[in-house]
Amino acid sequence: MAAATNKQQLLTQSLPLLQKKFPGTAGPEKRTVLDEVVFAVLREAATTAQAEAAFTHLMRSFYDWNEMRVSTIQEIADALPGLPGAGEKARRIVGLLQEVFEERYSFDLNDIAKKGLKQGAKQLARYKAGVNDFVVAWVTQRSFAGHAIPLDAPTIRVLQRLGILEGDIDDLEATRASIEHFIPKAKGVEFTELYIELALAICTETHPDCQHCPLKADCPTGQEILAKAKADAKAAKPKSR
């Protein structure tokens, strides 16, 4: 079990290594609060490049938020080609727009950014159909300039394999708080961007490519996988007579 200082060290050292592997990873763009909430829904378990392409396609496919709100889930999903989890994300977007409209008769959430971090996060979390912990943390990081690290399933998978997160994740908010403790605010966006790239390009769910992972030297799972592959290759080698 890695001690807290080791975990912090591992995370700190991982960022320049990942930056080298994934140079030019997108930084934050300025969006309205509602745009950012919808973007966060698209971005969960997807790279920023995938989410940006999906967001642009979505916005071009409908005249305005209201047209989107009254569309079918299938129509929204069709406007998100190639995006992981498009159907479920479409359902959340329609539900979110409906909730916002019923409460405000408009689609302007910008006032929430002025409420302070805690209050803003609390208000966002009320839109339960579309907003989850990932979305709250994402919007806190991007629109409210707060210290929050959005954790989606692929990012959690990498952190578990690295031994930074241990055991089952019963309380996502508490898990997030522990990671936020290790990552300084100034590195929050960088961490968020680089770890999803690693999770989706190399540390994939079923076939992690540990051989080409820049973190393999410090990853207990990677070391295990590589040792097993080496042993398997040795066992498969025909014995010389």
Read off the tokens for 192.
């968020």
Among 161, 165, 180, 191, binds ligand SF4 (CB under 6 A): 161
Q: Which of 190, 219, 231, 236 binds ligand SF4 (CB under 6 A)?
A: 219
**222 lies in the site for ligand SF4, by CB under 6 A:** yes
Minimum CB distance to ligand SF4, residue 210 (Å): 3
Among 26-34, 148-156, 171-179, 217-225, which window interacts with ligand SF4 (CB under 6 A)?
217-225
Q: Number of residues in contact with ligand SF4, rule: CB under 6 A?
A: 15
Instruction: Decide whether 67 or 209 has the Cβ nearer to ligand SF4.
Output: 209
Q: Say whether residue 203 binds ligand SF4 (CB under 6 A).
A: yes
Nearest-10 crossing angle of helices 133-142, 33-43? 130
- For 143-178, b where at least 16 C-beta lie within 10 A, e where not — what string? bbebbbbbbbebbbbbbebbbbbeeeeeeeeebbee
Rule CB under 6 A: say whether 202 interacts with ligand SF4: yes
Distance from C-alpha of 27 to C-alpha of 97, rounded to nearest angstrom: 26
Measured over the CA atoms of residue 174, residue 178, residue 184 and residue 187, the dihedral's sign is negative
Tokens 């076939």 — which residue?
Answer: 207
CA quadruple 124, 95, 153, 43: dihedral sign:
negative
What is the C-alpha to C-alpha distance for residues 56 and 59, in angstroms, rounded to an integer?
5
Cα distances (Å, whole numbers) of residue 104 to 20, 64, 217, 239: 45, 16, 52, 74
Of 33, 83, 158, 159, which lies in the binding site for ligand SF4, with binding defined by CB under 6 A? 158
Among 34, 37, 162, 194, binds ligand SF4 (CB under 6 A): 162
Nearer to ligand SF4 by Cβ, of 50 and 155: the residue is: 155
Residue number, 19 or 123, with CB nearest to ligand SF4: 19
Q: Smallest distance from the beta carbon of 203 to ligand SF4, in angstroms?
A: 3
Residue 34 or 202 with smaller CB distance to ligand SF4: 202
Structure tokens at 98: 């409906």
Question: Residue 21 Cβ, how far from ligand SF4 at the closest point, in Å?
Answer: 10
Residues that bind ligand SF4 (CB under 6 A): 158, 161-162, 202-203, 208-210, 213, 215-216, 219, 221-222, 225
